[in-house]
């Protein structure tokens, strides 16, 4: 997987969506932010659909709504593996290909999906979890009694690339989000080798309140300003 900042820490801003996703290779593992219609990097997803990378491994809460959000990538047969918490009743294209045996699915409890990504970003390779003990989720996982309670071992979850959506970025890559559009985005930013953010607005360095920055610039590699695109 050859993916890097290209322009370094000082110049992260790309002028077009197509340019910012141009070098995503076939076979890449990509995290996608977004939940409940909010905070999806829809422009980046559309760009990836145009770019055409195949055999993608997707990590995302859900799997699109019709052609919207991640739907287009499934429609285009660009995805072969999915880690998700709630593929969703509207994930038509995903479901068709899952049923046809063309996609492998790993279903993960939502909080554990978050926690596994956070662990990766935090340099923690694995942790014990109370979630899913005694359920299908525990299948194949080590179980262990700790202070008299049952837990299962969960692995950190990283990616080659994170596609995220924020509200505003400054030119260094500090990010703020809007309301519940924050969701998975700040976690994914920490858990990928390369984080690409689509934002409503790019502001000058110093315009974001240092007390209120949610994702510090260290976690952001590429920024593109893109007109809002929402599938409700």
The pattern of x and - marking residues 59 through 78 that bind another protein according to CB under 8 A reads --xx----------------
Task: Between 18 and 193, name the residue whose CB sits nearer to another protein.
Answer: 193
Who contacts 53 (Cβ-Cβ below 8 Å, separation ≥6)? 24, 25, 26, 28, 78
Q: Which of residues 169-228 bind its own copies (CB under 8 A)?
A: 176-179, 209-212, 214
94 binding another protein? (CB under 8 A): yes
Q: Which of residues 143-162 bind its own copies (CB under 8 A)?
A: 146-147, 149, 151
Angle at the Cα of 30 (from 204 to 186), degrees rounded to 5? 45
The pattern of x and - marking residues 91 through 110 that bind its own copies according to CB under 8 A reads --------------------
Stretch touching its own copies by CB under 8 A, among 77-85, 86-94, 100-108, 141-149 = 141-149
DSSP class of 181: G
Q: Provide the CB-side half-sphere exposure for 196 (13 A, CA).
A: 34
Task: Between 86 and 128, name the residue whose CB sits nearer to its own copies.
Answer: 128
Residue 55 in contact with residue 80, Cβ under 8 Å? yes
Q: Which H/E stretch holds residue 2? A: none
């Amino acid at each position: 997987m050859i993916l890097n900042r290209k322009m370094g820490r000082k110049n992260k801003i790309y002028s077009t969506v197509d340019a910012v996703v141009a070098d995503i290779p076939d076979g890449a593992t990509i995290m996608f932010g977004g939940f409940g219609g909010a905070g999806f990097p829809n422009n980046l997803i559309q760009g990836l659909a145009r770019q055409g990378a195949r055999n993608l491994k997707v990590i995302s809460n859900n799997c699109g709504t019709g052609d919207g959000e991640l739907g287009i990538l499934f429609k285009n047969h660009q995805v072969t593996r999915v880690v998700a918490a709630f593929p969703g009743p509207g994930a038509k294209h995903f479901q068709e290909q899952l049923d046809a045996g063309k996609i492998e699915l790993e279903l993960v409890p939502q909080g554990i999906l978050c926690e596994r990504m956070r662990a990766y970003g935090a340099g923690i390779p694995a942790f014990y979890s109370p979630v899913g003990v005694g359920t299908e989720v525990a299948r194949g996982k080590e179980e262990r009694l700790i202070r008299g309670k049952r837990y299962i071992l969960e692995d950190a979850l990283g990616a080659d690339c994170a596609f995220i959506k924020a509200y505003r970025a400054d030119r260094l890559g500090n990010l703020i989000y809007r309301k519940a559009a924050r969701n998975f985005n700040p976690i994914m930013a920490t858990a990928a080798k390369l984080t690409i953010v689509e934002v409503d607005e790019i502001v000058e360095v110093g315009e974001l309140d240092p007390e209120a920055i949610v994702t510090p610039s260290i976690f952001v590699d590429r920024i593109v300003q893109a007109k809002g695109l929402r599938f409700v």
